Amino acid sequence: MTELQIRRTRFDFDDDVPFVWNPGNPAFSFSMNATSIIAICFEKMIVAAVKEALPQISDTAIAAEADAFLRQEAQHARAHRRHMQALIKTYPGLQETLDTAINHYDNLTATTPLAYRLAYIADLEATFTPSMKLMLDNEALLFKGGDDRVASLFLWHFVEEVEHRSSALIIYDAVVGKPWYRVRVLPSVVKHLGEVISIIANGVNDNVPEGDRGVDAGSMMRTVQMRRAVRRWLRLEAPDPNATRPSYAGIQRREKIIAVVNVLLSQTPFHKPANSPLPEFAERWLARYQAGDDVWHWYTSELAGKDGNRG
């Protein structure tokens, strides 16, 4: 039977939410806002694909895992919609950006075979444990000091991504089962993701005033950053003294290299997410959740708890 839990969330996004929700790190704020948009459309695609796959899964344990997986993902999408609705209230033009990104995934659902979509989901989900380990291992640097509602949304989501790290591959293996097919489709998965990221970056640049976003969203795109890094390494481009502080500034180079290597390894045909190194933070989050702490306001409730203990 699956060990995944469906948790009742208590996020409050009724009031305004700043675009730069972590004033110390506008680049990271942008990349998490973009993640909110991708979460909505990607997770919508997951729910449709897994529902389509379920009748083909005869093993009851795998069917239970698939059902819990899609329910966790549906909940993530719902919570991110609330985050986006709060941003759209301030920047109405972002609605069109969100709709265009959703259409891009809906189009994939309508035009590609189930095997391709399950491979896409398994490929992308496999990258999450190593990339989210990097973020959760450095949560104090990246999330603390930001808007607690937004920080808590991502901390919860990333912990559950680590929790269901094996689900997408279990479903893929049960329904498609061809390890090399996942590797073969990877270039088109990366291309599709790049298109979505362009839609989001252009939409943010068009609809959020520069003073509010603090970054040029186009320059935050990984392909642009990688091109610049290579040009600087080849001494074709001098470092820009006015460049935005990178999202991951302050994180040890060694940790970043390990994350990149593990992301690449996650795309090899016989990768087993169950064997991935896990972030210690996930255990801490789950322990506080089990204890009934207000994990939906991770930092403020932690502080309140400590103050209470002192008093």
Q: Which residue ranges make up the site for Fe ion (CB under 5 A)?
A: 73, 76, 125, 161
* Radius of gyration for the chain, computed over Cα atoms and rounded to the nearest angstrom: 19
The residue (of 139 and 161) whose beta carbon lies closer to Fe ion is 161
The residue (of 73 and 139) whose beta carbon lies closer to Fe ion is 73
Q: In the complex, what is the shortest distance from the CB of residue 153 to Fe ion, in angstroms, rounded to a whole number?
A: 11
Beta-carbon-side half-sphere exposure of residue 287 (alpha carbons within 13 Å): 6
The residue (of 148 and 161) whose beta carbon lies closer to Fe ion is 161
**Torsion angle of alpha carbons 118, 120, 125, 128, nearest 10°?**
180
Q: In the complex, what is the shortest distance from the CB of residue 131 to Fe ion, in angstroms, rounded to a whole number?
A: 12
Q: In the complex, what is the shortest distance from the CB of residue 71 to Fe ion, in angstroms, rounded to a whole number?
A: 11
> 3 is written with which tokens?
């060990």
Q: In the complex, what is the shortest distance from the CB of residue 183 to Fe ion, in angstroms, rounded to a whole number?
A: 20
Amino acid letter at 80? H
The residue (of 21 and 156) whose beta carbon lies closer to Fe ion is 156
- The Cα–Cα gap between 144 and 202 comes to 28
The residue (of 169 and 220) whose beta carbon lies closer to Fe ion is 169
Residue listed under structure tokens 């089990």: 290
* 51 touches 43 (CB < 8 A): no
Which of the 8 DSSP states describes residue 247?
T
Q: In the complex, what is the shortest distance from the CB of residue 308 to Fe ion, in angstroms, rounded to a whole number?
A: 32
